[in-house]
Each structure stands twice: as structure tokens, then as C-alpha cells.
């Protein structure tokens, strides 16, 4: 796509060129991420040749393995969509929502990946220049009639550094395989207690094991999950640095990537940016989605620090499934 021409008197002209000269991810240097931030990774797939009765059997087996039945949030749904997703006791189920609590997820990981480890395992990810601890806070599985399903992992680095969050999201989303002709990114090395994994696929396989023998087919980019990241960024940035960071988050670049974006990608009216409030944006791309807030109101009980993060987390599956569906069309 051709870039916009910035006129000599355009106020973005100087800030744009100054931003391009910064090269690597300097806009993340020294920046912090508030505790209300989160990252969720969605693995879209389909149960092949699964009819309504077999999907119901899958749900029963998952419940027996520790998954709990849930209901799709109804507050922001149109009535006919609400009735479709949550038909009630007398209606035929058109979708299932299951959740796996953090304690059950830790127990499953310990039993299947590192059974000799005496306590809940500590997770770590090998980044190019450091090892970063992280936690898995739970999982969610949405199954729709026809066999399409979305497995969501709630994972976050044990760090408040923005650079750690950017690097974690970039690498963790690759759940298997090596970079080559068929995929762009190698799965990172993960440590779960005493076990070493190449990507999180072994855990995904164990999570979905009760659903077998139905074959699972990926629906998105090979061996990649779709991240939805909500970043509450703390610290001072210039306007140019804010738009560079939005560009970095939107396209899922790490803090180490050198960026040379065309001026069109740094415009505040970019079609893949949705300004929600002052210094707050939703970001959209084929491979990721997210929310970024710069220095949001500090009251922890305010809407922006309490209710809004919860709503963003609730909307994760809807946002990702929408992007996934559009990419498949």
C-alpha cells in the first residue's frame, strides 16, 4: 500500500521522521506495564467430521477431565445472538463454552509434562537474550456447532517491563515447529519444571486429549496462535513514540525488531486503529488484536482500570473469532 504524503506544514511530519530514525524498539525502553494488563492466545481449529452428538460427547469428556461449563456473556449481545449462543435448558445447544481454572491447569501440566516435580511447575520461556518466567492463569474452550473451536490460553510474563511483554507475546504465539518455507517463526523453548518443551503444543495436546479420537485441523497460520494483548503502559512517550508503539503492538513485533514503517502506518486515522478514549486504542490486524492505554486514570476502582479490562478480556474470543473468520473468507 502506498504511503501518505505528508505536507511540509503537517504537524506529524517532523515527529514521523524523528520516529523512524529511532530504529529498534526504543519507545519501549524503561516503560512499565500495569498489573491490569493481560495477554490471551487463541488457537482456532476444527473437529473434523464431528456432528452434534459427537460434540456433546466431547463436552462431557472434557467436563470429566476438569473443565467447567460456562455461558457466553450476554450483556453486549443482541437478543437473537444471545438466544443462539445460550439457548437455555429447553433449547438445542449451538455452542459450548468451557473453562479450566488455573489450579486445574497447573495440576494437568504437572501430571502430564513433569510428573516427578513435587509442586506446581514454574514456567519459563527462552528469549534470544534472556530467560523469562511466566504464568498460565487458565484456559477457555469455545466449541461451535459444525466443529469449529477456539482454545484460549491466558498467559502473562512475570514482569512489568514493556519490552518483556512485547517479546513474550511475539515468541509465545508460535506453539510448534521451526521457521522455514511453511512458517515464519520458530516455536520457543519452554521450561515447565524439569521438562523442556519446544513450544506449548504438548500442553495443548493434553488439554484437548479428552476430545480425541476426533482429528483436529488448524484453521489459521501454521503453528501460530492469535494473541489479544491489553497493555496499560505507564511512562512518558512523545506522540510519535505512541504511534510507533501502536504499530509495534498491532503487527506483533518484538522490542528487538527494527521498524521502518511507511508514514501511512503511523497515521492516527489508520483504519486498523480504533480510538476508544484519550490515549487509548484498540488495534486490529490479521495476525493479532489488542488494546493499548497510555497512562490511564490511576484510580484502581475507576471504569478504565477495573471494568474496562474485564470487558476487554470477555471480548477476546469474539474479537479473535471475527478476525479469524474474515481471514478465512
Cell numbers found for residue 230: 491489553
What DSSP letter does each residue of 174-216 carry, written as one string?
B-S--SSSS-SSPPPEEEETTEEEESSHHHHHHHHGGGTTS-E
- Asked if residue 4 belongs to a domain, the reply is no
Overall average pLDDT of the 163-188 stretch: 94
Cell numbers found for residue 215: 482429528
- Asked if residue 5 belongs to a domain, the reply is no
Task: Provide, rounded to the nearest whole percent, the portion of the chain with pLDDT above 70.
Answer: 82
Radius of gyration of the chain (CA): 21
Predicted TM-score (pTM) of this structure: 0.85
Q: How many domains does the chain have?
A: 1
- Asked if residue 1 belongs to a domain, the reply is no
- Asked if residue 2 belongs to a domain, the reply is no
Position 118 pLDDT exceeds 90: no
- Asked if residue 46 belongs to a domain, the reply is yes
Residue owning grid cell 490471551:
40
- Asked if residue 3 belongs to a domain, the reply is no
- More confident position, 113 or 214: 113
Strand 226-234 versus strand 289-294 pairing type: parallel
Position 320 pLDDT exceeds 80: no
The highest-confidence range among 139-153, 159-173, 261-275, by mean pLDDT, is 159-173
Q: At 276, phi and psi to the nearest 5?
A: -95, -45
- More confident position, 214 or 130: 130
Position 19 pLDDT exceeds 60: no
| pLDDT value of residue 173 | 96
Task: State the DSSP H helix or E strand holding residue 18, giving kind and residue range, or none if neither.
Answer: helix 12-20
- Asked if residue 68 belongs to a domain, the reply is yes
The model's confidence at residue 219, banded by pLDDT at 50, 70 and 90, is: confident
Which three-class secondary structure state does DSSP give residue 155? strand
- More confident position, 211 or 28: 211
- Asked if residue 129 belongs to a domain, the reply is yes
Overall average pLDDT of the 208-215 stretch: 74
The model's confidence at residue 10, banded by pLDDT at 50, 70 and 90, is: very low
The model's confidence at residue 13, banded by pLDDT at 50, 70 and 90, is: very low
Residue owning grid cell 494488563:
37
Q: Mean pLDDT score of the chain, rounded to an integer?
A: 83
Overall average pLDDT of the 100-105 stretch: 93
Domain span including residue 131: 12-328
Amino acid at each position: 500500500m502506498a504511503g501518505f504524503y505528508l505536507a511540509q506544514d503537517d504537524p506529524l511530519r517532523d515527529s514521523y521522521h524523528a520516529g523512524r530514525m529511532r530504529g529498534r524498539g526504543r519507545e519501549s525502553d524503561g516503560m512499565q506495564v500495569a498489573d491490569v494488563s493481560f495477554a490471551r492466545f487463541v488457537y482456532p481449529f476444527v473437529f473434523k467430521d464431528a456432528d452434534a452428538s459427537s460434540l456433546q460427547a466431547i463436552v462431557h469428556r472434557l467436563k470429566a477431565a476438569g473443565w467447567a461449563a460456562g455461558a457466553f456473556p450476554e450483556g453486549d449481545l443482541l437478543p437473537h445472538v444471545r438466544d443462539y449462543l445460550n439457548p437455555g435448558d429447553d433449547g438445542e445447544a449451538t455452542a459450548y463454552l468451557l473453562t479450566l481454572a488455573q489450579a486445574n491447569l497447573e495440576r494437568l501440566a504437572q501430571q502430564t509434562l513433569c510428573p516427578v516435580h513435587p509442586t506446581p511447575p514454574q514456567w519459563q520461556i527462552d528469549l534470544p537474550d534472556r530467560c523469562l518466567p511466566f504464568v498460565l492463569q487458565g484456559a477457555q474452550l469455545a466449541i461451535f456447532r459444525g466443529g469449529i473451536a477456539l482454545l484460549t490460553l491466558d498467559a502473562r510474563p512475570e514482569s512489568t517491563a514493556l519490552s518483556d511483554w512485547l517479546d513474550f507475546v511475539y515468541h509465545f504465539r508460535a506453539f510448534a515447529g521451526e521457521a522455514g518455507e511453511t512458517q515464519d517463526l520458530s516455536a520457543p523453548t519452554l521450561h515447565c519444571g524439569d521438562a523442556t518443551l519446544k513450544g506449548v503444543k504438548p500442553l495443548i495436546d493434553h488439554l484437548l486429549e479428552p476430545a480425541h479420537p476426533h482429528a483436529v485441523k488448524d484453521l489459521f497460520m501454521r503453528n501460530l496462535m492469535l494473541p489479544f494483548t491489553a497493555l496499560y503502559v505507564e511512562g512518558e512517550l512523545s506522540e510519535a513514540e505512541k504511534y510507533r508503539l501502536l504499530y509495534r503492538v498491532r503487527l506483533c513485533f518484538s522490542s528487538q525488531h527494527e521498524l521502518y514503517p511507511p508514514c501511512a502506518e503511523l497515521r492516527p486515522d489508520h483504519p486498523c486503529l480504533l480510538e476508544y478514549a484519550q490515549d487509548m486504542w484498540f488495534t486490529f490486524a490479521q495476525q493479532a488484536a489488542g488494546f493499548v492505554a497510555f497512562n490511564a486514570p490511576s484510580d484502581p476502582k475507576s471504569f478504565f482500570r477495573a471494568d474496562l479490562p474485564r470487558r476487554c478480556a470477555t471480548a477476546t474470543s469474539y474479537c479473535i473469532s471475527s478476525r479469524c473468520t474474515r481471514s478465512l473468507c
